[in-house]
Amino acid sequence: MADIPRRAAHRTAKLASLPLGVAGRLAAGWGKRLVGQDAAQINAEVSAKTAEQLFSVLGQLKGGAMKFGQALSVFEAAVPDEMAGPYREALTKLQAAAPPMAASSVHRVLDEQLGRAWRKRFSEFDDTPAASASIGQVHRAIWHDGREVAVKVQYPGADEALRSDLRQLTRFSRLFQSLAPGAEVKPLLAELQERMVEELDYRTEADNQRAFAKVFRDDEAVRVPAVVASAPKVVVTEWVTGTPYSRIISDGDREQRNTAGQLLAEFHYSAPSRVGLLHADPHPGNFMLLADGRLAVIDFGAVSRLPDGLPTTLGRMIRLALEDKPAELLDLLRAERFVQPDRELRGEDVLAYLAPFVDPVRTPTFHFTRRWLQRQAERVGDLRSPDFRTGRSLNLPPDYLLIHRVTLGATGILCQLDAEVDALDVITKWQPGFTD
């Protein structure tokens, strides 16, 4: 792939154009204010156009930009409706869209990874990609034993593209803040960088998937496709056909939404206890609802290793907030390094900050909606809010960062689904520390 350096330069130029576009829109916005136009309306226009440009650029990229866009896409539900409209569709496309790789390139990768006789391992192989991922694309094929399989092939040069894109995106992290008000984007980028090398080796992904598939084999609620073959840049798994969560989000009926949400919540909270691993890539492109009512989960490149399950501290935090015990809650947060050591906080303020996040377990069934998530984002992101000041004094220990990001991502999908979920039952059953 002799044109990889040229493509990398083209990507860098596109990313570098983002702050220039933002600066121009901000200047135009100030001009409109000077002639008396409504400030709130101008802010909404600037934010919407910025997001539209941002995701238009990300949608044309592979590597780190694509992966970062996918990670952020689940937070779309937290963006106010008046701002989200112009780019909601473009944002959703990041979950599946990337320019296809030429058949000759695919064959070259397969030659290198599976040997020049790779065609004998398949009775059929479709050169047209069936789907795309952040650093590779998926082809439909028939294995030599008659099984229908998915063949994920990594883009040539994906490793350097990933590193280059993440280096560039780190510089512009503040531009992404409008997507998830109150969330910290820089730690998200740092975490993605840390896991970059691991995700580039598909053998690691295959091992992760084998661990999940072993535990969920013959499960009544979840199907994880078996791994058929793997190499550093190619992984072959059983093919699954179902309704993607992205389609349920756009036009699913009430029963589909609730079923999809319940299954996702159960999988998210149960996997650490059952497998010792947390599926750490929550976006709708990785989940499907099968015709038999089960959840199908794909793409295990990103996981968090939790041999003891989810941390007991998280369950205790939820329980103390639910039981309205501010002093005990503050003591726990200080002991577990959730409060910055030089900050003074009142237990009542911490309880007020966390209380809305406990909403899902206050009743047997909770309705996850975009508006609910928007209210939480507005509350913790409003510089004038007491909750904002409290949040500035809190700290997220590094070992909780990935769990926090994945839980927020799963919550974002539940809100996109507009799902009614028995969250109390799920957390009671699977979150250590909540009942003991």
Q: What pLDDT, on the 0 to 100 scale, is given for residue 341? A: 79
Higher pLDDT, 355 or 316: 316
Q: Find tokens 């609620």 and name the residue.
A: 221
Q: How far apart are CA 291 and CA 204, in angstroms?
A: 30
Lowest average pLDDT, out of 1-15, 57-71, 133-147, 257-271, goes to 1-15
- In the predicted structure, residue 276 carries a pLDDT above the cut 80: yes
- Domain for residue 300, yes or no? yes
Contact call for residues 144 and 123 (beta carbons, < 8 A): yes
Total count of domains within the chain: 1
Q: pLDDT value at position 348? A: 92
What is the H or E stretch that residue 109 is in?
Answer: helix 103-114
DSSP, residue by residue, 324-364: T-HHHHHHHHHHTT-B-TT----HHHHHHHHGGGGGGGTSS
Residue 179: predicted pLDDT: 45
Beta strands in 243-309 (DSSP E): 243-244, 277-279, 287-289, 295-297, 303-305
In a domain, 373, yes or no: yes
When pLDDT is cut at 50, 70 and 90, the band that residue 18 belongs to is very low
Residue 228: helix, strand or coil by DSSP?
strand
Is residue 381 in some structural domain? yes
- Beta-bridge mates of residue 141: 125, 149
| Confidence band, pLDDT 50/70/90 cuts, at residue 250 | very high
In this prediction, residue 395 has a pLDDT band, given cuts at 50, 70 and 90, of confident
**Is residue 375 assigned to a domain?**
yes
Q: Between residues 325 and 382, which one has the greater pLDDT?
A: 325
pLDDT at 224: 98
Residue 93 Cα distances to 81, 109, 191, 202, 352, angstroms? 18, 26, 23, 24, 36
Range with the lowest mean pLDDT among 24-28, 89-93, 277-281?
24-28
Q: Is residue 33 part of a domain?
A: no
pLDDT category of residue 56 using cuts at 50, 70 and 90: low
Residue 176, amino acid: F
- Report yes or no on 1 lying in a domain: no
Is 224 inside any structural domain? Answer: no
Q: Is residue 28 over pLDDT 80? A: no
Residue 374 lies in domain: 243-436
CA 331-280-167 angle, to 5 degrees, is 95
Pick the range with the lowest mean pLDDT from 66-75, 146-155, 287-296, 373-382: 66-75
Q: pLDDT at residue 82 above 60?
A: no
pLDDT at 317 over 50: yes
* Partners of 149 in the β-ladder: 141, 238
Helix, strand, coil proportions of the chain in percent (round to 5)? 60, 10, 30
The reported pLDDT for the residue numbered 31 is 38
pLDDT tier, 245 (very low <50, low <70, confident <90, very high otherwise): very high
pLDDT, tens digit, for every residue of 328-369? Answer: 999 999 999 898 777 888 999 999 888 878 999 999 999 999
Residue 86 CA: distances (Å) to CA of 14, 82, 270, 356, 417: 20, 9, 36, 29, 19
Find the mean pLDDT for residues 128-152.
92
pLDDT exceeds 50 at position 37? no
Within-domain flag for 135: no
At residue 415 the predicted structure's pLDDT band, cuts being 50, 70 and 90, is very high
